[in-house]
């Protein structure tokens, strides 16, 4: 198929960017979206032009690196899908596709479609861990965990930290990401020692990084490729109120 692409090109963090048009032909409907970009870059290199910079790693939907805004939608038009899992069969011959980086104050553009998501790392460093006591590891079944709690923890732990929630949120909030990390640790017995210091530290890091506030529009959950629900945000808010009361 033949496609018209309009791609955000920005030479560096301090440079002014713009949408640049490209035409690409001979794309198979079985190709993934990233493979289509690979073909474009091969074409650009052959023509002596600078290839489009974009993030990717596993290409299996588990690392969260493939962060692209496609036609105004985080990861593209297909729900519960990362960009690397999106295939060109979703498009038709002659389509025009706009491709941009995540748009959020806390995710500054590094080059082209690559953004700096180290603000997520700082949130994790502020509390996304549990105590690691020394000594012999306990048996796996030594600490009973109710099945509803285990299921909820596994669902929250599915977050891959891609940042689609931030890109989709009109406020640029990282609340869904942060709440998923708080929830999956706070639901487990092993996560209780830091439960209150965790939520205070992570919320402070979130705000310091420049993420916006949550107004419960729900765009974050709708864009999440792992379908993390808004219930984790409610859990975070409840933990934060308890922690702030104790700290007062």
In tens, the pLDDT along 14-57 reads: 999 999 999 999 999 999 999 999 999 999 999 999 999 999 99
Residues 153, 105 share a domain: no
Residues 126, 85 share a domain: no
The residue to which tokens 């794309």 are assigned: 27
Residue 138 has pLDDT above 80, yes or no: no
Q: Tell me the pLDDT tens digit for each residue of 170-220.
A: 999 999 999 999 999 999 998 999 999 999 999 999 999 999 999 999 999
Residues 126, 49 share a domain: no
How much is the pLDDT for 248?
76
Residues 121, 71 share a domain: no
32's CB contacts (< 8 A; 6+ apart) are 59, 84, 85, 86, 87, 88
203's CB contacts (< 8 A; 6+ apart) are 178, 236, 240
The CATH number for 226's domain is 1.10.1060.10
Provide the domain count of the chain: 2
Residues 127, 227 share a domain: yes
How much is the pLDDT for 140?
73
Instruction: Report how far Cα 100 is from the mean position of its chain's Cα atoms.
Output: 15
The CATH number for 35's domain is 3.10.20.30
Q: Is residue 84 part of a domain?
A: yes
Domain around 149: 117-131+145-247
In the chain, % of residues over pLDDT 70: 100
- Give CA separation, 162 vs 12, 62, 68, 80, in Å: 21, 9, 10, 13
- Rg, the chain, Cα only: 20
Residues 126, 87 share a domain: no
Q: How confident is the model at residue 72 (pLDDT cuts 50, 70, 90)?
A: very high
In the chain, % of residues over pLDDT 90: 93
Spatial contact of 95 and 4, defined as CB atoms under 8 Å apart: yes
Q: Is residue 139 part of a domain?
A: no
Q: Is residue 125 part of a domain?
A: yes
Residues 168, 191 share a domain: yes
How much is the pLDDT for 142?
84
Residue 133 has pLDDT above 80, yes or no: no
Residues 240, 182 share a domain: yes
Residues 121, 69 share a domain: no
> What mean pLDDT do residues 58-72 have?
96
Q: Is residue 11 part of a domain?
A: yes
> What mean pLDDT do residues 122-148 have?
86
Residues 186, 127 share a domain: yes
Residues 151, 46 share a domain: no
Q: Tell me the pLDDT tens digit for each residue of 109-128.
A: 999 999 999 999 999 999 99
Residues 223, 121 share a domain: yes
Q: Is residue 205 part of a domain?
A: yes
Q: Average pLDDT of the chain?
A: 96
Q: Is residue 140 part of a domain?
A: no
Residue 134 has pLDDT above 80, yes or no: no
Strands 18-24 and 109-111, bridge-based pairing: unpaired
Spatial contact of 196 and 246, defined as CB atoms under 8 Å apart: yes
> Is the pTM value of this prediction over 0.85?
yes
Q: Is residue 136 part of a domain?
A: no
Q: How confident is the model at residue 106 (pLDDT cuts 50, 70, 90)?
A: very high
How much is the pLDDT for 90?
96
């Amino acid at each position: 198929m033949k496609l018209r692409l309009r791609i955000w090109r920005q030479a560096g963090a301090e440079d002014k960017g713009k949408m640049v048009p490209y035409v690409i032909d001979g794309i198979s409907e079985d190709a993934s979206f990233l493979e289509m970009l690979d073909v474009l870059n091969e074409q650009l290199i052959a023509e002596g032009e600078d290839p489009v910079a974009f993030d990717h790693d596993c290409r299996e939907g588990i690392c969260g690196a493939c962060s692209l805004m496609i036609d105004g939608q985080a990861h593209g038009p297909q729900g519960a899908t990362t960009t690397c899992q999106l295939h060109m069969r979703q498009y038709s011959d002659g389509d025009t596709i706009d491709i941009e980086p995540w748009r959020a104050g806390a995710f500054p553009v590094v080059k082209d479609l690559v953004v700096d998501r180290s603000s997520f790392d700082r949130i994790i460093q502020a509390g996304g861990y549990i105590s690691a006591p020394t000594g012999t590891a306990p048996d796996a079944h030594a600490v009973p965990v109710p099945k509803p709690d285990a299921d909820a923890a596994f669902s929250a732990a599915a977050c891959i930290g891609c940042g689609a929630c931030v890109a989709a949120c009109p406020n640029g909030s990282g609340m869904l990401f942060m709440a998923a990390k708080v929830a999956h640790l706070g639901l487990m017995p092993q996560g209780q020692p830091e439960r209150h210091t965790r939520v205070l530290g992570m919320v402070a890091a979130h705000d310091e990084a420049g993420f916006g506030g949550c107004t419960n529009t729900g765009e974050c959950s709708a864009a999440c490729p792992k379908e993390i629900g808004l219930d984790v945000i409610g859990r975070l808010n409840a933990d934060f109120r308890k922690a702030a009361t104790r700290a007062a």
